[in-house]
Chain A
Amino acid sequence: MNHTTPSANPIDRLLDSLCLTPAGLLSLVALAVLPLVPPFNHEYLIRWLISAAFIASLSIAFDFTAGLINIVNFGYCAIMGVGGYTSAILAERIGLTPWIGMLAGGLVAALLGLIIGMITLRLRGIFAACLAWFFGLAAMGLATKMVWLTRGPLGMRVNRLFDTASNVPYYYLLLGMMVVTYVICKWVTRTRMGVAFKAIGQNMEAARTSGINPVFYRVSNFVLSCALAGWLGGFYAHYYGILTPDIMLTSKTVEVLAVAYIGGRGSLWGGAAVAFPFIFAMELVRSSLSNLPGLNLLLYGLLLILVMIYYPGGFAAFFDATFRKYKNRVMNYFFNGAYESPR
């Protein structure tokens, strides 16, 4: 899955150093241009785009833990919610600007990740998943009960980032955050730390005997992934304008999880790629077949099961197997003037 093998052509090499691929760049450009193109310039579709981009960003950071070190952070959206609430509360209580509030949210979430990572470091991955889940449920419980701080289930009004009525600036901000998330995660996987993550994910014992301290790496991974979640949570709070404990529900984490795994675990970009058609399809089914509630979610549950059994590599594996080879051949032809079979 690592695209650091040096390619023959200069475009690939340049993009590679930015952690991008030609297909990725094209998709980004398409996404950036989309709000200008009807019918996507309607507000409700912009909202769908934002939802999709949000899940996409979350799934990138989620995959950083799930795909690389093979631990499912089952309280992920709760941690994201904690970041959101942190930023919202700081904005309300001490008037902190949301731009810094978002970072504060990331910091608090990172702290949570640190605690969870440290407690479960010697245990099997399933314990980390369980503890993250319990933490998430507790966080949701606290957010619901501590009404003096969070207004509880009634919801907390949050000041928005931009004063515009349109959501378009939020979309572009989120796209930027998505790219930053991806680049950070991708860049780390290329460092020695990233190699260590992969080693731990595959064989903890072998990694240990190679001198890798799995404790340190597991915790670091968790902390980064949670920090990104908290940062994104801050965005959500100051975009949506209202914050309720519902964003911490396990079912929200399940949505991110499904997107990340159907997209292709370990790929980082797979979930992001899948998120857009996914959210659109789900919203379409929901609005057009409103007499069949729950059908959209049922379908995505089925899809998750089918992908996990029959095509565990997910969309990313499918893409790699079919398109990438073809694209490489085409690029090869352009730059080397003749058709050469790829090695």
Chain B
Amino acid sequence: MAEQVGNRGWERVFKWCRSLAGVTVIATVLIALLATADRGGYILVNTIVTGGMTALVAMGLALTLGVLNIPMFAHGEYFMIGSLVAYYVFTPISSFLNTHPDSALALWGPLITVLAAMIVGALAGVVSEVFVFRQLRKRSRENWVMNSFLLTVGLSVVMINAHQLFFGADFKGITHYWSGPPINLMDVFISRDRAYAFILSVVVVGVFWFFMTYTRTGRAIRAVAQDETGALMVGIGLNGILMLTMSLSCVLAAIAGAGLLFMYPSYPSMGLEPLYMAWFVVILAGLGNVLGAVMGAFMVALLKVLTVEYIGSGWDFVVPSALIIVILIFKPSGIFGSEVRGVLDK
């Protein structure tokens, strides 16, 4: 009996390996390893670090698409908010640390910064949902996808220009979060900031996965994503869940923005690149598929790293666009399957 179960387990694994999802995942890993062997360990490091943070941003977008059914084009702006808050919280901490290098803030400073970014990101999400999207929802459910999309465009303009108006258009960056020599892993030098960013993304993805799978609220969110009416029928309060989800989505983007401040300084229109990456991931993985977005993020990160490495920087808008065309022609529901109600036209 145990042997049969064991065999069936292996059968399922092999079946997955032959599916589109399995093939692309395996191909990605193989290509990453090949490129690393070819050019050096930094390829793998860059892919993993970029992938981790892209995963956060992409998961947030997948949430908004799957649960709220909003094609969010202001997602990059929540990333920008995270980085902006991180700048203003960490800069004073940083100057304090210059004169008191042994204080506890050396350890807690970056963490407090991310926490601050989370809080402001959550607030931004709540404000967006309550004052913008809920108002539209109350008035008309008709043509929701297009109308909410237009609202996100408006939100994006407002947030970008509010940044410029109140904080200036200049680049606001920090040199580093963590001081100390880079970590040496198998002849590759990984800066502490990058390692920190990656660990942060792993922790956040893990916590988030646990939340969505095992907690009552997480299951409620998944229920709303699958059938809003059904969720109402079992007693789930829609407004609360929608607000919470929007908030979570923005928090994820804000964490990524804060975590990467050492690499990407904050300025008003910095959100375009994370937005673009997130949308690429989400279309690749399948609209609304939150876990698929994580895997897709690493694939996209690898693509970006390889494009920069083998073709040259500045082409990173061109190559993904070509891939998107292929995906939309052959598998519009994405590699891992879409969970948004109806990908094809009704």
- Asked whether A and B interact, the reply is yes
B317 / chain A contacts, CB cutoff of 8 Å: 137-138, 140-141
Q: A119-B328, A312-B147 are in contact. Are A297 and B315 (CB under 8 A)?
A: no
Spot the interface stretch: A19-27, A123-131, A319-327. A123-131
Q: Which of B143, B146, B268, B329 has the most CB of A within 10 A?
A: B146
Chain A residues numbered 280-319 whose CB sits less than 8 Å from any CB in chain B? 292-295, 297-298, 300-302, 304-305, 308-310, 312
Q: When the two chains form their complex, are residues B283 and A130 in contact, meaning their CB atoms are under 8 A apart?
A: yes
What is the distance, in angstroms, from B290's C-beta to the closest C-beta of chain A?
18
**Chain B: residues with CB nearer than 8 A to chain A?**
71, 132, 135-136, 139-140, 143, 145-147, 149-151, 153-158, 160-165, 169, 268-269, 272, 276, 279-280, 283, 314-318, 320-322, 324-325, 328-329, 332, 342-346
A58 shortest CB reach to chain B, Å: 16
- A→B interface (CB under 8 Å): 70, 72, 119-120, 122-127, 129-131, 133-135, 137-138, 140-142, 144-145, 204-205, 214, 250-251, 254, 257-258, 261, 292-295, 297-298, 300-302, 304-305, 308-310, 312
Q: A123-B344, A309-B151 are in contact. Are A293 and B169 (CB under 8 A)?
A: yes
A138 touches B268 (CB 8 A): no
Contacts of B157 in A (CB 8 A): 251, 254, 258, 297-298, 300-301, 304
Are A137 and B132 in contact, CB atoms less than 8 angstroms apart?
no
Chain B residues lying within 8 Å of A145, measured Cβ to Cβ, are 314-315, 318
Q: Are A301 and B151 in contact (CB under 8 A)?
A: no
Contact in complex: A124, B322 (CB < 8 Å): no
**Which residues from chain B contact A301 at a C-beta distance below 8 Å?**
154-158, 161
- What 9 pairs between A and B have smallest CB-CB spacing? A301-B157, A294-B164, A138-B321, A141-B317, A294-B161, A298-B161, A304-B154, A305-B154, A301-B158
Partner of A131, one of B156, B314, B325: B325
Residues of chain B contacted by A302 (CB below 8 angstroms) = 154, 158
Q: Report the Cα distance A312→B151, complex, angstroms.
A: 11
Q: How far is the CA of A250 from the CA of B164 in the complex (A)?
A: 18
7 CB-based A-B contacts, threshold 8 Å? A123-B328, A124-B343, A135-B321, A205-B346, A251-B269, A301-B158, A302-B154
Which residues from A are CB-within-8-Å of B316? 141
A292 to chain B, nearest CB (A): 6
B158 neighbours in A (Cβ, 8 Å): 298, 301-302, 305
Taking a contact as CB atoms closer than 8 A, the residue among B161, B169, B272 that contacts A250 in the complex is: B272
Tell me, in angstroms, the Cα distance from A258 to B153 when the chains sit together.
9
Chain A residues, CB < 8 A from B132: 305, 309
How many Å lie between the Cα of A251 and that of B324 in the bound state? 22
Please tell me which one of the listed residues A72, A130, A131, A305 contacts residue B155 in the complex, with CB atoms under 8 A apart: A305
Contacts of B332 in A (CB 8 A): 122-123, 127
Q: How far is the CB of A270 from chain B (nearest CB, A)?
A: 15
* Residue on A nearest B155 in the bound complex, by CB: A305
**Assembled-state Cα–Cα distance A33/B150 (Å):** 35
Q: How far is the CB of A159 from chain B (nearest CB, A)?
A: 28
- Minimum CB–CB distance from B29 to chain A (whole Å) comes to 26
Q: Is there contact, CB below 8 Å, between B146 and A72? A: yes
Chain A residues with Cβ under 8 A from B155's Cβ? 301, 305
Q: Given known contacts A301-B158, A308-B151, is B345 in contact with A123 (CB within 8 Å)?
A: yes
Residues of A within 8 A of B135 (CB): 309-310
Of B139, B149, B162, B343, which contacts A129 at CB under 8 A? Answer: B149
Taken together as a complex, chains A and B put the C-alpha atoms of A135 and B318 apart, in Å, by 8
Please determine whether B342 and A124 come into contact, CB atoms closer than 8 angstroms. Answer: yes
Which of chain B's residues have a CB closer than 8 A to the CB of A258? 153-154, 157
**How long is the Cα–Cα vector from A212 to B296 in the complex, in angstroms?**
38
A137 to B319, CA, bound (A): 11
Query: A310 — which chain B residues lie within 8 A by C-beta?
Result: 135, 139
Closest Cβ–Cβ distance, residue A274 to chain B (whole Å) = 15
Report the bound CA distance from A174 to B345 in whole Å. Answer: 38
Please give the distance in Å from A117's CB to the nearest CB on chain B. Answer: 12
- Is there contact, CB below 8 Å, between B145 and A295? no
A143 to B184, alpha carbons, bound, how many Å? 40
Rounded to whole angstroms, the CA-CA distance of A293 and B324 in the bound complex is 36
Also in contact, A295 and B154, with CB within 8 A (given A123-B328, A124-B345): no
Is the beta-carbon distance between B154 and A144 smaller than 8 angstroms? no
Complex alpha-carbon distance, A175 and B237, angstroms: 54
The answer, among B153, B321, B324, for a CB contact under 8 Å with A304, is B153
Given contacts A134-B320, A141-B314, A302-B158, 10 further A-B contacts (CB under 8 A): A124-B344, A125-B345, A126-B149, A131-B325, A137-B276, A141-B316, A294-B165, A308-B147, A309-B132, A310-B139
Cα A300 to Cα B146 with chains together (Å):
19
Minimum CB–CB distance for B221 against chain A, Å: 22
Are A308 and B161 closer than 8 Å at their CB atoms?
A: no
Which listed residue (B161, B321, B329, B343) contacts A137, Cβ 8 A? B321
Q: Nearest Cβ in chain B — how far from A153, in angstroms?
A: 10
B146–A293 touching, CB < 8 Å: no
